[in-house]
Structure 1
Amino acid sequence: MLKTMKHQYKKYILLLPALVLSVSCTKLDLKPTDTLSPDNVYRNISDINKGLIGAYAAADYDMSSLSVTVSDEATFPTENIVGNSDAFRWLYTASNGSVTSFYYTCYIGIDRANRALAGLDALKLSGADLTLGNQYRAELLAIKSYFHLEALRAYAASYQNGALGVPYMKTFSISYPARDNFEAVVAQVKVDLLAAKALMPAGLTDKSRITAPAIAAIQARLALYEKNWADAIRYATEVINSAPLANKAQFPGIWTDANDNEVIWKLKRVGTTNSRLGDFFYRQTGGIVLYAPAQKLINTFDKVNDIRYAAYIKFDPSRTGFKSQYLVNKYIGGTSTAPGLTDIKLFRTAEMYLIRAEAEAESTGDAAGDLNTLRAARINGYTNASFADKAALIDAIYTERFKELAFEGHRFFDLKRRNMPVQRLAADAANASGAVLLVPEQAQYAFPIPAQEMQINKNTVQNPNY
């Protein structure tokens, strides 16, 4: 009897760990109630819109600030003791977040778009939800394409076939992708934009979202970098026909949000004290100027007749000593309750005129006509100009891009498109530790792939000379 009881006792001892293990496993299998599983995030069409808004949220002014910092359109005043001097002085490496964080900004946006697209694929939609789903799919494909294009502009080794581009992420996945060549990224962006365009309803006119004209604008910018002049002309013309240039009375109001004439796509900014673009990038609370307009840029304007000058640049003679008397006026905002809180303009009709002018100059079109049209809209008493040859016309178009698109994130990439050096005036490089000339042979002529990416992703490679 005792022997039998001992035997049964041993059986209970042996069964106890198994029972505990079984209970523990059951508890571990319980799904948390305070979070959503990735499989259950996109349950309906409203959830898709939330995912889409998350993708939009990844876009910000850092799309433009990189180009401003490292080009010849801004200077680093002595009063700036907190700003990004390494980027301005071309001392950046793969470990400098000032130039590498944008890489992750782009891929965060791409990842969010891909996740929402996967969620949309899993839904069975009909009726009004299907119609809305098609619009959201168009927006997601387009914003994914936009982020890929922006990453390509910043991190491609150069803008030509065979050059190292960036990974094109077709779907959401945890992976270690190699870098696609420049032309492969361009080709895939084109495919996604065409798909987006076919789905985009013509009735969508909210400029804080991607619309049909915005897709055409992305296509035109992409074609410019691809040097596909026919597409650049075609898509730029689509945008120009849909949104005329602002007239002289309207133009200054674009930068205070009094109106959005000729704005194709903008990032809406709301609030009173947060996300203030003027304070965030060009100046700090307390009036410290972080970046000021370069004298090289100032010198290009007719200060009396060009309406862009006062809209973009402010001269304040009361600022003395080490303080910069020139300030960036563009994006400074228009209300006392929210200074610097201005919608970020990602695409404008003016850019399309300049894209078409350059494409026409490269393909024997009426480039001077587009250039003169834009100038006449901006300069009082303007008389149409003529140009001796193609080289003179291209130079004039580049000067006009320098002026018209100042502080909008194009100058550095424009120079890179033509394999031209960044050449600063000595006065603009006073605090640049000798950073006056950046030539294409230097490493910093292309931004580096982040060091962390290089450490984790063994399938990627760095840009030349880093």
Structure 2
Amino acid sequence: MKIPNISKIALAVALTIGSNACKDSFLEQPALGALSDAQLNTKAGVENVLIGAYAALDGNGVGAASAWDAAPDNWIYGSIAGGDAKKGSQGSDQPGINSIMLYSSGPSNGFFNSKWKAVYEGINRTNTVLRLAPTITGNITEAEITDFQAEARFLRAHYYFELKKMFNMVPWVDENTEDPAAVANDSDIWPNIEADFQYAFDNLPAVQSEVGRANKWAAAAYLGKTYLYQDKFAEAKTMFDQVISQGVTSNGLKYGLMPAFQENFDAAKKNMQESVFAIQMTANDVTGTIAHANEGGMLNFPYNSPFRCCGFFQPSTDLANSFQTSADGLPLVDSYNSKTLKNDMGIDSETAFTPDKTTPLDPRIDWTVGRRGIPYLDWGNHPGRTWIRDQAYAGPYSPKKNIYWQATQDLYSDQHSWAPGTAINVLVIRYADVLLMAAEAEAQAGSLDKAQEYVNLVRARAAQPASQVHTYKDPAAPMAGFTDTPAANYKISQYPAGDFLAKGKEAALKAIYFERKLELAMEGHRFFDLSRWGIADQVLNNYISFESSVTPDVQGGNFIKGVSEYFPIPQRQIDLSTKGGVSSLKQNPGYQ
């Protein structure tokens, strides 16, 4: 399958937009370098600026201090802050992440300023498209102008959604804003995000010429997600109903689950039926860098391993324990931490260790958490402590969803830097996510049987033999293939008929929330889910209490209800928006 990559085209475009495009503040009007509006307001010119707006999705080269500060998968802000993972590595490396992990960050933490700048640069590019599109000269139809506007408004809504879920009250700057410095952050922008996604849904085609472009069904799913974040459950249900019954990918595939869970994280199988909206990544392009190969995730490979660097983003013990199941294969929603899954904490790699072969486990654990003695894709059994930079600091586990296969590394890894890049797409929304969001909307509406049906679809896929990790035919030659023997005691089942209805709405929602934790672990969702559900203080303080008994890295953490659900407005932006001693930006509660 030929998969055009928008990021490749965008490199030259980003350069022509101008080296001054990434200012310290989103409030500073970016220059367009050597190109004037007159040069850009052709069909080709606006198309190039639109591609530049897509290029900003990866958060790289758009103002962030480091690529990982603004990584589009939100591994820091969504997964580490959400308890899926710890920072990993060692305490002194990237210390700005430590306070995010402990919910003690202040407005001067540079990570927040990097994310803010990168996202607003994406917004600036979409606004440039929207400002220029109506002025295009030459051979263009009204329908083509509408297409430009619909794609740009989808992207703008995505960028603002990122800001809204992170910072809550942010200034809405659009193509008609004359003085960005005068725009305050005192208005809720959810209605604006809704309007942009609605316009995109109404005007985008179902199938696009390039797979990386947003289509109408990606807009519908994102609009449903926008409603869900506002507790507009009826409206969310309406959108998800349409997405599930009619939705197709931008390359025309009917939405569905991939046959095997792990296929979602294999670059050889990207842009298939489960991909609703993905940020396209490519390896070994013409740049001689890993700029388009998920550079934001370059730190997140096992240390002292074939991947070289850097030992960050280690799954938490709490997450690993969550995959334990009951004897009948159901999750231990309320008691998963009552028993810690056997691991090699404190055991040298040279000392013999046998992983647990008896505890029933959800098979998704071994595609999500790298643990000693279990095949690490086709790289061999995970050797344990040797691959962990500081086990005593952050625990015994390694990330796994971001890892490329040894057999196809020449195609899908990129070694043009001191740490690898990969061609694995960043899945902003995938179909399993849609099913679980739909289940949540159905449960909130009282349709508990329908909610259970959607959850069971996700669990049924996880229960397929193809979703299990199997032992190697020859552990000394892992690329020789796998046996039919499961690597652990995998036991997962669907909820029995009528279970949600019998247990009631509260229990059904708890099961749905937990299913999201399992299915979407390490994908940057958890913190934002817990915050919007209003349970982050309870869940994350319990997490800190438990995890602190295992490692010292999270000791002293404290999630404050009514404060920690959102990150602080970057102090740098408040300072830059100050005129006459008064800033147009107000700090979030609790961070003044």
Which structure has the larger Rg?
1
Partners of 1:375 and 1:113 in 2: CA distance: 38
Structure 2 matches for 1:296-307, cutoff 5 A? 296-302=318-324, 306-307=362-363
1:274-423 equivalences under 5 Å are 274-275=290-291, 276-277=293-294, 280-283=298-301, 286-302=308-324, 306-317=362-373, 318-320=383-385, 322-323=390-391, 324-334=395-405, 335-337=408-410, 338=413, 340-341=421-422, 342-365=424-447, 366-380=450-464, 382-385=493-496, 386-387=499-500, 388-420=503-535, 421=537, 422-423=540-541
Residue number in structure 2 paired with 1:121: 134
Cα distance between partner residues in 2 of 1:50 and 1:304? 52
Q: Find the aligned partners of 1:312 and 1:399 in 2 and give their Cα distance.
A: 15
Q: Give the C-alpha shift of residue 56 in structure 1.
A: 1.4
Q: What fraction of aligned residue pairs are identical, expressed as a percent?
A: 23
Displacement of 1:427 in angstroms is 5.8
Local SS of the residue matching 1:76: strand
Change (3 A) 1:49 1:89: same
The residue correspondences of 1:12-411 to structure 2 (distance < 5 A) are 35-60=33-58, 61-65=71-75, 66-77=77-88, 79=90, 81-83=92-94, 84-124=97-137, 126=139, 130-156=142-168, 165-171=169-175, 173-176=178-181, 177-182=183-188, 185-204=189-208, 206-241=210-245, 242=247, 243-249=254-260, 251-259=261-269, 260-272=272-284, 274-275=290-291, 276-277=293-294, 280-283=298-301, 286-302=308-324, 306-317=362-373, 318-320=383-385, 322-323=390-391, 324-334=395-405, 335-337=408-410, 338=413, 340-341=421-422, 342-365=424-447, 366-380=450-464, 382-385=493-496, 386-387=499-500, 388-411=503-526
State the distance in 2 between where 1:336 and 1:133 align: 41
Q: Which moved more, 1:452-461 or 1:211-220?
A: 452-461
Per-residue deviation, residues 136-173 of structure 1 (Å, max 9, x unmatched): 211001111111111110001xxxxxxxx221223254
Q: Shift of residue 384 of structure 1?
A: 2.5
Match of 1:431 in 2: 552
The runs of 5 or more residues in structure 1 that have no matched partner are: 1-33, 157-164
Shift of 1:121: 1.4
Deviation readout 1:331-375 (Å, 9 max, x if unpaired): 222332315511111111111111111111111112122112221
- Show CA shifts across 1:303-358 (max 9, x none): 86634222222213523273454211112223323155111111111111111111
One-letter amino acid matched to 1:169: V
Matched position secondary structure for 1:132: helix
Q: TM-score, normalised by structure 2?
A: 0.66
Cα distance between partner residues in 1 of 2:89 and 2:258? 37
Deviations 1:168-226 (A, max 9, x none): 223254422111433xx111222222222222123326441111111011101101111
Q: CA RMSD in A?
A: 2.5
Distance across 1 between alignment mates of 2:116 and 2:230: 21
1:403 maps to amino acid: L
Most deviating of 379-388 and 86-95 = 379-388
AA at the equivalent of 2:225: R
Q: How many residues matched? A: 420
In 2, Cα distance between the equivalents of 1:132 and 1:325? 53
Q: TM-score, normalised by structure 1?
A: 0.83
Tell me how far 1:47 sits from its aligned partner.
Answer: 1.2
Tell me which protein shows more helix as a share of its residues: 1
AA of the residue aligned to 2:366? A
Assess if the C-alpha contact under 8 Å between 1:248 and 1:378 holds in 2.
no
- 1:8-48 per-residue CA deviation (whole Å, 9 max, x = no partner) reads xxxxxxxxxxxxxxxxxxxxxxxxxx953442341311111
Structure 2: 5+ residue stretches without partners? 1-31, 59-70, 248-253, 325-358, 374-382, 414-419, 465-491, 578-582
